[in-house]
Amino acid sequence: MAGSFVAVRGKPRSSPKRSGGGGADPPLSLAMPTVADLHKTAELEKFLVEAGLYEGEEESAKREEVLREIDQIVKEWVKKVTIQKGYSEQMVKEANAVLFTFGSYRLGVHGPGADIDALCIGPSYVKREEEFFVTLYGALSEMEEVTELQPVPDAHVPVMKFKFRGLPIDLLYASVSLLVIPPDFDISQGSVLCDVDEATVRSLNGCRVADQILRLVPNAEIFRKTLRCLKYWAQRRGVYSNVTGLLGGVSWALLVARVCQLYPNAVPSMLVSRFFRVFTQWQWPNPVMLCAIENDDNLGFAVWDPRKNPRDRSHVMPIITPAYPCMNSSYNVSTSTLRVIMEQFQFGNKICQEIELNKASWSSLFEPFQFFEAYTRYLVVDIVADDDDDLRLWKGWIESRLRQLTLKIERDTKGMLQCHPNPCEYADPSIQCAHCAFYMGLSRKEGMKIRGQKFDIRGTVDEFMHEIGMYTQWKSGMDLAVTHVRKKEIPLYVFEQGCQKTRPPTPICAEQQDQSDKNDSEVCTTTASLVDQLKQKYHSVGGADVDSFKSVRRASVSPACEEASIQLHDDANFGLTNCSTSPHGSEGSTVSGNSCAAVGTIGLVDETSLPGCLMPNVENDPIRTILEQAPSESVVEKDERKLEGIESLASSNCTEFMEVAEVVAGTILTENGDIRLSGHEVI
């Protein structure tokens, strides 16, 4: 069956008792579907098929074949390692590895082109660091079938990413405390966690959690259809991304599974509607749990428990995995990203109410979120490398730490300046250089407009850039720029094809700007010059040794900006100041540079004052979660309450990229939304 390929599958265990954190609650409704519900479900399934969410038989067969080949590769690899370590012929003969799948493929909700999450389990003497990321990596790198091979040993869950015959694979490895892996290895047994480290536990739990989810839902097939629908919705609305602090695949599966438990007889159309109804009213940080949290004193791994673990008390949207050791799958979610998620839940709830009243169709639910129309200011992270392979490594490192920038801004502004990370990456098709960019929307927390108050995050961005600079696999050509743009300065290529703008899609430079923006022209440039400036410094290094060059690799050679000012539509001054020396340059190096990060004060419109825009109302609850807390029944009983919809802000004009900045020397948000990017003191 698609999604359940396993080299060996153990005997299923009985389903654990559901209790705690909502898991013990009886279903909210045992109602059977009506004729209208069945009709809406048929319409929904037809929409998903027409949207291309199901792969064909040929691609499914290819996946099975690729998995068989990888299974054979890891078996041969373990035997070779066994020979190299000098074990007996009998040990070599018995040497074995097994391959399990997890994630969307194991759950049976993958679509065309989706990656395959796979776990290789090997014997105790075949280690992750020495063998998996060295000898197996070397073997894969020599195969013609393997492309885009990328080891990520330092990830929270160490992984080897690659494509095999064009299919993307995420391969994990777990070395268990057995000398020989039996052909009937049962991954569901708790004994597999004996004498292993936490990274191995996290690797093993991908499969264990997927199996538990399928055991705990009332109807696996209805669960799959509902999850496929809501994953697609989350991707369209820009809230599907664990790495950027939104919700990943496991979290979405757990949320859908919980709704299936609450409405065990419902069909997909009913479950989609109830999903939004329940979670728009869920009292976070109360945890979502499918079953009781198990403790095993013999194994001794920490489980999610805010009563005992201080770190767990800071989780704002806990969604707990059902397999021991139970963990929070959504620990990456921050106050800012919770706001974004809840805003989209409210949107989904409004549309589903209209669908139930026959006032809207399913296509309305899946309208893409207009990210570049929702904010007036954006932080932009531009990434450049010499080739695609280097870009893949460099981008992976930076993307995995973008969440930290959001958290640091929240921390340093006490949650009053909020960030909305866009999980999509963008690249200018007119530029041949290997590059991409990530965007983050900026907004002031609702109700936090205090006259005269300023937020200085210069040190915040400096700290983030310093952490990025600690990348151990950095190579010449890898570069980074963090800067800001106004909504009208967003480059045209990031917009979806067919999106209508209020100006013709022509590059806007100094002589073409409105008279009111003419003094801002010194930060207007083409995207090609952005890459040129990022690259230019490498030609000025000369004979500098690698170490001294590496220490200043983000020093910009942008020309000094002349002082100027401009009056914006919201009466905020935009003042350019002289560029400052990069704080990331090496003091002992003879190579130095300046950073010019589009410096000046920039007006940020208070979104809360704009018509047609409902800003999120999620507040940070000062009362920390305790394990026994569950959503109040009185809250769920109000699930018929209607909420206002979410509407995008009006679109506006866009220009070419602003002048590249190697390092943001500082950002300040004042009471009228001014942002200053400068290395100078705040006035």
**Token code pair at residue 196:** 């292993």
Answer yes or no: 104 catalytic: yes
Whose CA is closest to 158, among 134, 188, 193? 134
Residue whose tokens read 């664990």:
242
Q: Is 259 left (phi over 0), alpha (psi -120 to 50) or beta?
A: alpha
**From CA 326, how far away is CA 303, in angstroms rounded?**
5
Catalytic residue among 37, 71, 170, 428: 170
| Angle, CA 337 vertex, CA 260 and CA 609 arms, to 5° | 115
Supply φ then ψ for residue 98, to 5 degrees: -120, 150
Catalytic residue among 40, 75, 231, 537: 231
Whose CA is closest to 211, among 184, 186, 188? 188
| Angle, CA 47 vertex, CA 44 and CA 51 arms, to 5° | 140
- Residue 102 and residue 202 in contact, taking contact as beta carbons nearer than 8 Å: no
Answer yes or no: 115 catalytic: yes
Within the chain, how many helices (H) and strands (E) appear?
Answer: 18, 17
**Token code pair at residue 499:** 């999106």
Answer yes or no: 312 catalytic: no
**From CA 374, how far away is CA 389, in angstroms rounded?**
33
Supply φ then ψ for residue 222, to 5 degrees: -65, -40
Percent helix, percent strand, percent coil in the chain, to nearest 5: 35, 15, 50
Catalytic residue among 240, 263, 324, 375: 240
Catalytic residue among 40, 79, 104, 331: 104
How many residues comprise the chain? Answer: 683
Catalytic residue among 71, 117, 390, 674: 117
Catalytic residue among 115, 456, 462, 639: 115
Answer yes or no: 331 catalytic: no
Peptide bond just before 325 cis, omega within 30 deg: yes
Alpha-carbon distance values, 143 to 126, 350, 390, 391 (Å): 21, 51, 20, 22
| Residue 650 CB contacts under 8 Å (≥ 6 apart), including other chains | 373, 612
Q: Is 3 left (phi over 0), alpha (psi -120 to 50) or beta?
A: left
**Residues annotated as part of the active site:** 104, 115, 117, 170, 231, 240
